[in-house]
Structure 1
Amino acid sequence: MYDRILVPTDGSDYAEASAAAALELAKTMDATVDVICVVETGPLGSVALPGDTASADDVLSERGEEYVTQVADRAAELDVPVTTAVREGVPVREILDYADDVDVDVIVMGSRGRGGISRMMLGSVTEGVTRHSGRDVLVVSSDSDPVSTDQ
């Protein structure tokens, strides 16, 4: 039924829970998992951080690499084939574009993630992906126990 599963991550507990669900589904379906982290770029992205030569975008991209690597490491432990990507841009658009680019069968996402007041007012990334995707989207409920990142 599903040969290729996309799981976006932002490093939150809810993204970790959705990654665990995606990996379990992939193991059951003998599917490949694509893990993506989208770094939101902004007007301050190219500004160097105080006392550092790295820009804010560079730091966020490094953090995104860490997030996808964590999921990829768990996939390797389960013998699930995995591909990772870190993209810059608007999360909903980048997730949908990636899903189209690699022709995934399903997108597995948490119902909450990193964000804040602006995210609540504008709507969540999960809501945007669910609303605009022509693909199946499996939403892992925020009522589920998030996976601890202290493992």
Structure 2
Amino acid sequence: MFDTILLPTDGSEHAEAAAQTGLELASIHEAAVHVVCVADTGPLSDLRLPGDAASAKEAMGDRAQEAVDAIVDRADASELEVTGTVLEGPPEDELLEYADEVDADLVVMATRGRGGVHRMALGSTTDHIVRFGDIPVFVANSSAHAD
């Protein structure tokens, strides 16, 4: 039923729990997995970066790569076909574009992630993907698994 599953992550415990669900679904369906973390370089990102913006953005990219690598390692251990990618930009837009590029059949993501106060005003990435994406989204209620 699913050939390609997209697993967005932000490195949070919630995203890790959702990724586990996604990996289990990929195993059942023998699907390829695309793990993606978007380093948020959207228009408001500089407001959230302490100190030197260039150094902070580099650190953000490093954290994004670590988040992707952690899930890719788990997928490799399960002998799944996996690709890990770090993108930059507004997460909502980048994830929808990437899902289209890889022809994803399903997105598996958490109900919440690192967010923060600024996300309350802007809306969550998950909500945006559910509302504006044209592929099925499996929203894993990660609050039961991580807090």
Report how far residue 48 of structure 1 moved: 7.2
- Mapped to 2, the partners of 1:62 and 1:45 lie a distance apart of 16
Report how far residue 20 of structure 1 moved: 0.2
Report how far residue 121 of structure 1 moved: 2.1
Aligned to 1:112: 112
Aligned to 2:24: 24
Residue type of the alignment partner of 2:34: D
**3-state SS of the aligned residue for 2:144?**
coil
Residues 5 and 106 in structure 2, CA contact (< 8 A), matched pair in contact too: yes
Please show how residues 86-125 of structure 1 align to structure 2 within 5 Å. 86-125=86-125
Change (3 A) 1:45 1:112: closer
- Mapped to 1, the partners of 2:14 and 2:48 lie a distance apart of 26
Q: Which has the higher helix share?
A: 2
Residue type of the alignment partner of 1:62: D
Aligned to 2:64: 64
- Mapped to 2, the partners of 1:114 and 1:46 lie a distance apart of 14
Residues 47 and 55 in structure 1, CA contact (< 8 A), matched pair in contact too: no
Aligned to 2:134: 134
Report how far residue 2 of structure 1 moved: 0.2
Aligned to 1:84: 84
Q: Which runs of 5+ in 2 are unaligned?
A: none
- Mapped to 2, the partners of 1:75 and 1:119 lie a distance apart of 29
TM-score, structure 1 length as denominator? 0.88
- Mapped to 2, the partners of 1:128 and 1:47 lie a distance apart of 26
Post-superposition CA distance 1:116-149 (Å, at most 9, x none): 1111222110000000000000000134313x9x
The number of residue pairs the alignment matches comes to: 144
Q: Which runs of 5+ in 1 are unaligned?
A: none
Residues 7 and 34 in structure 2, CA contact (< 8 A), matched pair in contact too: yes
- Mapped to 1, the partners of 2:4 and 2:131 lie a distance apart of 20
**3-state SS of the aligned residue for 2:142?**
coil
Rg comparison, structure with higher value: 1
